[in-house]
Chains A and B, each alone.
Chain A
């Protein structure tokens, strides 16, 4: 009796763990945490396209999680055909390990980033603290909510955006920038565990006067909490956040999936792929579509991490490694 029960349990466990693949081949896309909605919409579009052009059906599996955890899993042997990340430093790590081509940013157009976003401010209805630009975030009496600048992707982007603002001011240099960021961080009552946690803290627990987040998150907030509760403020300048994609050479060569993996990523730049980005509130690279969706993407002056910081490979150790500028802010006191 218990044997029967056990075998049934086993069957159920197996069914949950991995449904047998019926498709001709399969792809595993290892991605960051909040890209779930994007790829949930994108995968069926690509599957249809692939069936129509090659006649083959393809099974696409997704894995989502904190980006550096995901990348470490790939380095440790998770058989991802492609990675779609939210920060070049994570793909750089795979390049260092020899899993991804060194020049992965040149394997696809636009720095291998099919869409972009930027860091914007979310303030309370009516903007009671009159927050217009980054310098308002460093004002005494303003509470800023952001995810941990050292441990999370959006926190790091927020940090670099504020740094970039300060350095682009007249007379701005690394010293004034660090002072400015230090004053802004002094206004943070807490560092949230991640992007979504920061949103919950600001919207639901009503802590803080301004939340710094991805432009694409603002729309999700509207969906979750209603449009009438907050306003989105575009600062004078912000960081252009890129989302690099790459093929894991070792895996696709072993599985024989290079062609479909290439097509899967290429198709992100197709009009259908770009429209999907726009519908998920990520700025498409396609200029025509950007115009079509101009209402949800107001123009904003941006800089990339490459332009202002010489790329993530340089920015990461300077700012976020132990003893970097972030640590200095807390240790000088």
Chain B
């Protein structure tokens, strides 16, 4: 049966809904970003470049994006495990663990930062065992990774859960009965299906981490050139009442984030496209 180009929806009101969506997005997203761009454009190109490419600014981009990428990667690995056991197994206390995953959403991030700093400090519950190993976490860039891993965990788990629920256990059984090893089942059968969701989770976790301020400043130590994140430099500019300088840094962050998100989206498109050609999920010839 030919697929119609324009499908008649059961519910009317497409125009109204589209109008609402556009107005809402304009007010909530486009307007503030436009304001940011206008404010930043008050700088001449040379001034902008000087602000955006200062030694401390460059160091802070490295710290912010490096720690965020690392945290998102860690969460993709462990978040997948968490999502997997929550979907595939039933065990006592499962509901509790499921609820725990959302905790980083709900906890004020400053509280998280202070708690993590106390735990990982030299005399903290965790820090005291890491200290003899020569591992300093609190007040180092490593502490930033810990804080970002904490705040961005739910994004990966919650994105993966519905997708994993959709995969019937029979799929694995079928793979096994056709002679696939466990490893092959995972890599050839499961991973292609969950990869788009995993990438979405990665993107969300990354975006969350890049903008995070509240928890990080309490555990970072905030040493110039070593553990200063870009949001801290933005606050620092605001402390000097240098709003335009702050928007310059914000614009750079936005640009880097945009490129990263674009790259992940391209990757996602590529995986979906590849699946489509294999004819694995979409049902198209």
Contact = CB atoms under 8 A, between A and B. Distances in A.
Nearest to A150: B236
Contacts of A93: 241
B54 A207 contact: no
Contact of A197 (B218, B235, B238): B218
Contact of B222 (A72, A193, A320, A322): A193
Interface string A311-322: 000001000111
A25 to B, nearest CB: 32
Given A197-B218, A331-B55, A190 B118 contact: no
Interface stretch (A123-131, A198-206, A227-235, A282-290): A198-206
A322 B54 contact: yes
Contact of A207 (B121, B218, B220, B241): B121
A68 B51 CA distance: 21
Interface string A172-196: 0000000000000000111111000
A47 B218 CA distance: 38
Given A190-B139, A197-B218, A206-B122, A330 B236 contact: no
Contact of B239 (A151, A192, A193, A201): A151
Given A68-B239, A151-B235, A330 B139 contact: no
Nearest to B122: A207
Contacts of B54: 322
B44 to A, nearest CB: 16
A173 B2 CA distance: 86
A69 B236 CA distance: 11
Interface string A63-102: 0000011001000000000000000000001000000000
Contacts of A190: 139, 220-223, 227
B56 A327 contact: yes
Contacts of A150: 236, 239
Nearest to B240: A321
Nearest to B245: A322
A151 B121 contact: no
B124 interface: yes
B190 interface: no
A206 to B, nearest CB: 5
Interface string A297-318: 0000000000000000000100
Contacts of B118: 200, 204-205
Nearest to A206: B123
A322 B242 contact: yes
A330 B221 CA distance: 15
Interface residues of B, number: 32
Contacts of B138: 205
B69 interface: no
A201 B139 CA distance: 10
B124 A191 contact: no
Contact of B123 (A151, A189, A205): A205
B195 interface: no
A72 B240 CA distance: 11
Contacts of A321: 240, 242
B245 A191 contact: no
B53 to A, nearest CB: 13
Contact of A191 (B51, B221, B225): B221
B232 interface: yes
Contacts of A327: 56, 224
A150 B124 CA distance: 28
Interface string A146-182: 0010110000000000000000000000000000000
A193 B217 contact: yes
Contacts of A193: 217-218, 222
Nearest to B218: A193
B224 A330 contact: yes
Nearest to A192: B222
B117 interface: yes
Interface of B: 51, 54-56, 114, 117-118, 121-124, 138-139, 217-218, 220-225, 227, 232, 235-242, 245
Given A190-B221, A192-B222, 15 more contacts: A93-B241, A150-B236, A151-B232, A151-B236, A189-B221, A190-B220, A191-B223, A197-B114, A200-B114, A205-B138, A206-B123, A321-B240, A322-B242, A322-B245, A330-B56
Q: Which 10 A-B pairs have the closest CB atoms?
A: A190-B221, A205-B121, A330-B224, A190-B139, A191-B222, A193-B217, A206-B123, A151-B236, A151-B239, A68-B239
27 contacts: A68-B238, A69-B238, A93-B241, A151-B222, A151-B232, A151-B239, A188-B223, A190-B220, A190-B227, A191-B222, A191-B223, A192-B222, A193-B217, A193-B222, A197-B114, A197-B218, A201-B121, A205-B121, A205-B123, A206-B122, A207-B122, A321-B240, A322-B54, A322-B240, A327-B56, A330-B224, A331-B56
